[in-house]
Amino acid sequence: MDLKLVREEAIERTTRFFWEQSGSEPDQDSEEWEQEYRRQFELAKQRQANARPRAAPPATVAAPPAEPPPEPADWAKLTGPPTQIRWAAALRAERIGEVHDPAIRDWLATTWTRAKSWIDTRDLPIAVFLQRIAPHYAEYREGAAERARVEASERQQREAAAAEIRDAVEAAGITVDGLIELIDICDRLPAVPLGVKLAELSGEARSLRVFETADPALLMVLDKDASGRSDYAIERDPGLVADLELLMRAMALS
């Protein structure tokens, strides 16, 4: 006699007994649960003993499985006590297989996560089940449509803002190479401590990072090319700063 199978069947049948009797399951450490478990254990031993002469043990279709059946990776995990989850996983797989609408199947698989919800509706015919969930599914669809509308509106606003900035950059003739040339014609002053990064310019052979400094009249430049890196300050020109900021905004939105 395989006592492991006997114990698993006893646990599953004990769980089913309480859910069918009262719609809930007492704590497994309680005397009530332990008493019913012992009764189911003895019954399971008898069933297994009676099944010995047969070629295969009788199927226990009504009992929850010992382990949850394999599920698609995109299905949400069920929540609840482990014994409920094992049972609900089997019920969910069977029930979703009865639903023809792929959108409803996806909704059930990703939003119906309480094991108790599947257990409580296990005896409903599929037509009654679909009728009962219809208002909730309709509410979900309305919410999804509203979220999609808001996201589309926000996306259009972002795209419009990005297009406006790109047009402004193009109209002003601002380019990375042009800004590097503007920095090159500035007098190079002794380096000062860095502040917040203002811009990063990457040309074919050079890359420049431009920083604010504690001195409102100066910017710091970290200039790197094939020969190495040089750090120097330049006078803060408002027009140069405006062009750098506009180009960085355009690049961030591209």
Taking only the tens of pLDDT, the chain with its 254 residues reads 677 777 777 777 777 777 666 656 667 678 887 888 888 888 888 877 776 544 444 444 444 554 555 678 889 999 998 888 989 999 999 999 999 999 999 999 999 999 999 999 998 898 889 998 999 999 999 988 999 999 999 999 988 888 988 898 989 899 999 999 999 999 999 999 999 999 999 987 899 999 999 999 999 999 999 889 999 999 999 999 999 999 999 888 87
Question: Residue 104: its pLDDT value, please?
Answer: 93
Contact 194, 210 (CB under 8 A): no
Q: Residue 79 gets which letter from DSSP?
A: B
In a 10 Å sphere around its CB, with 0-12 CB exposed, 13-18 middle and 19+ buried, how is residue 110 labelled? Answer: exposed
- Quick one: which H or E segment has residue 21? helix 3-22
Question: Residue 153: its pLDDT value, please?
Answer: 93
Instruction: Kindly list the strands in the beta sheet with 228-235, ordered across the sheet, starting from the edge strand earlier in the chain.
Output: 197-202, 207-212, 218-225, 228-235
Question: Residue 19: its pLDDT value, please?
Answer: 66
Question: Residue 83: its pLDDT value, please?
Answer: 84
Question: Residue 57: its pLDDT value, please?
Answer: 43
Contact 224, 207 (CB under 8 A): yes
Query: CB-based contacts of 134: which residues, under 8 Å, 6+ apart?
Result: none
Tokens, residue 213: 């400094």
Q: For residue 7, which of 120, 83, 118 has the smallest C-alpha distance?
A: 83
- Whole-angstrom Cα distance, residue 82 to residue 89? 10
- Whole-angstrom Cα distance, residue 165 to residue 43? 77
Query: CB-based contacts of 84: which residues, under 8 Å, 6+ apart?
Result: 15, 19, 25, 115, 116, 119
Question: Residue 15: its pLDDT value, please?
Answer: 73
Q: For residue 246, which of 165, 143, 146, 171 has the smallest C-alpha distance?
A: 165
Angle at 129 between CA 113 and CA 60, to 5 degrees: 75
Q: For residue 220, which of 244, 252, 251, 246 has the smallest C-alpha distance?
A: 244
**Residue-wise burial string across 153-162, b where 16 or more C-beta atoms lie within 10 A, e elsewhere:** eeeeeeeeee
- Whole-angstrom Cα distance, residue 221 to residue 182? 12
Residue listed under structure tokens 């001195």: 215
Q: Residue 225 gets which letter from DSSP?
A: E
Question: Residue 60: its pLDDT value, please?
Answer: 42
